[in-house]
Amino acid sequence: MSFLHLESLTKRYGNNVAVQDMTLDIAQGEFVSLLGPSGCGKTTTLQMIAGFVEPSRGRIWMNGDDITSCKPNQRGIGIVFQSYALFPHMTVAENVRFGLEMRKVPISESRQQVWEALELVRLEHLEDRYPRELSGGQRQRVALARALVIRPPLLLLDEPLSNLDAQLRENMQIELRNIQQQVGTTTLMVTHDQSEALSLSDRVVVMNEGKVVQVDEPFSAYENPKNKFVSSFVGKTNLFACHIDQQIGSQAQVKLGDYQLEISVPIDIQGDQVQLSIRPEKLELTHQGAGQLNGCVRTRLFLGNHWLYQVDSSIGELLITQPNLGVQGAAVGEDVGIRWQEGAVRILGEQAHD
């Protein structure tokens, strides 16, 4: 049996369904992210697991126990909020000790546990400082230490890195993943940041309009999106509605502009109208006439480690990313060829008209 089991979990607010029939299993020690746009139901799911929101239907099981009706303080779950929710009048050590005091852990025991938690997040030298004296990343680590010091069976993270700037957020992603793997605590994170979910998680649960759309390992979710929504939300993509000219078994002939493409067809595809997906990094700019398609560069953006191109082609507008190899690359207005490797173009498991 899984460590955390959500069984047909549903939450309604009047006629609005925030979460619909969510069933999910999370293994002991696994790091899972709920990923989706605002209003998709991910935070409501987290709040139901924490006990802050009562489900309209369904059950929540943790380590074999039904905790659906348990109060939040009876669940023993560690939570890190988006705002960190630190007590401004308490020092770092006092903030971390708070959960232990609520559990009436003797000061002689809690002192060592607080030290170990601060050492885990590398803040033991700041134990006497107040939150106002800390950076955003340090406050985030205090909140994490406070959640972990009670040694929770389950750690819930509610957009924990969203208040940090881009560079600090990347650094904290590494810190957070290292800490989670070191401690081995089962972790469920809510985020709308695709790169955050992909980099931190063992599995990603993609949600939309209250429903689970796809549950997969990060690499599989990105490389093999189930449908148009997942393809567009989990990273950037180029989408095209196409017609299957001929199909033999699982292989089909599809015309992409002037190029005839042979491609594998998912088993759930019905009919001959399909949606093709091509990731921007799977496309490569080359000399005009040397690729499968020709185009003209409309826009070029320099993003540091890579270039982002907007190219007009015979099949429409294409987004193309190219690594920064220390050269300027194609210029705006330049005629170019566009090529890709076998397997770069995917048919999505969704009708073109859906």
CATH of the domain at 281: 2.40.50.140
Residues 221 and 250 reside in one and the same domain: no
Residues 197 and 274 reside in one and the same domain: no
Residues 115 and 138 reside in one and the same domain: yes
Tokens, residue 160: 């924990």
Which residue in 308, 179, 143 sits closest to 238, CA to CA? Answer: 308
Mean pLDDT, rounded, for 129-134:
94
Residue 350 has a pLDDT of: 56
Residue 187 has a pLDDT of: 96
283 compared with 263, residue with greater pLDDT: 283
Residue 275 has a pLDDT of: 86
| Tens of pLDDT, residues 182-199 | 999 999 999 999 999 999
The residue whose two tokens read 């949600």 is 207
Residue 145 has a pLDDT of: 92
Contact 354, 283 (CB under 8 A): no
| CA atoms of 120 and 183, how far apart (whole Å) | 9
Residues 197 and 345 reside in one and the same domain: no
Number of domains within the chain: 2
Beta-bridge partners for 7: 59
Residues 225 and 250 reside in one and the same domain: no
Flag the least confident range among 75-84, 93-102, 163-172: 163-172
| CA atoms of 69 and 59, how far apart (whole Å) | 9
Q: How far is CA 212 from CA 82, 105, 215, 227, 266, in A?
A: 23, 40, 7, 12, 20
In sequence order, the 6+-apart residues with CB closer than 8 A to the CB of 254 are 242, 243, 244, 245, 260, 261, 262, 263, 274, 276, 347
| CA atoms of 50 and 31, how far apart (whole Å) | 16
Residue 353: pLDDT band with limits 50, 70, 90: very low
Residue 85 has pLDDT above 90, yes or no: no
211-216 sheet: strands from edge to edge: 78-80, 154-158, 186-191, 31-35, 203-208, 211-216
Residue 90 has pLDDT above 70, yes or no: yes
Last residue of a domain, one of 229, 249, 279: 229
Residues 175 and 60 reside in one and the same domain: yes
Residue 1: pLDDT band with limits 50, 70, 90: low
| Tens of pLDDT, residues 250-273 | 888 888 877 888 888 777 677 778
Residue 49 has a pLDDT of: 98
State the pTM of this model.
0.89
Q: Hey, what's the torsion of the CAs at 194, 16, 7, 35, to 10 degrees?
A: 0
Beta-bridge partners for 337: 286, 294
Residue 351: pLDDT band with limits 50, 70, 90: very low
264 compared with 224, residue with greater pLDDT: 224
Length of the chain: 354
Residues 213 and 250 reside in one and the same domain: no
Domain boundaries, position 283: 236-351
Q: How far is CA 24 from CA 60, 197, 203, in A?
A: 10, 17, 11
Best-predicted range by mean pLDDT (25-34, 133-142, 243-252, 264-273) = 25-34
Residue 109 has a pLDDT of: 87
Residues 278 and 218 reside in one and the same domain: no
| CA atoms of 286 and 330, how far apart (whole Å) | 9
Residues 73 and 162 reside in one and the same domain: yes
Percent of the chain with pLDDT over 70: 97
Residues 133 and 55 reside in one and the same domain: yes
Residue 82 has a pLDDT of: 82
Percent of the chain with pLDDT over 90: 68
Last residue of a domain, one of 229, 253, 286: 229
Residues 206 and 300 reside in one and the same domain: no
Q: How far is CA 66 from CA 49, 55, 69, in A?
A: 11, 13, 8
Last residue of a domain, one of 229, 250, 285: 229
| Tens of pLDDT, residues 91-101 | 999 999 998 98
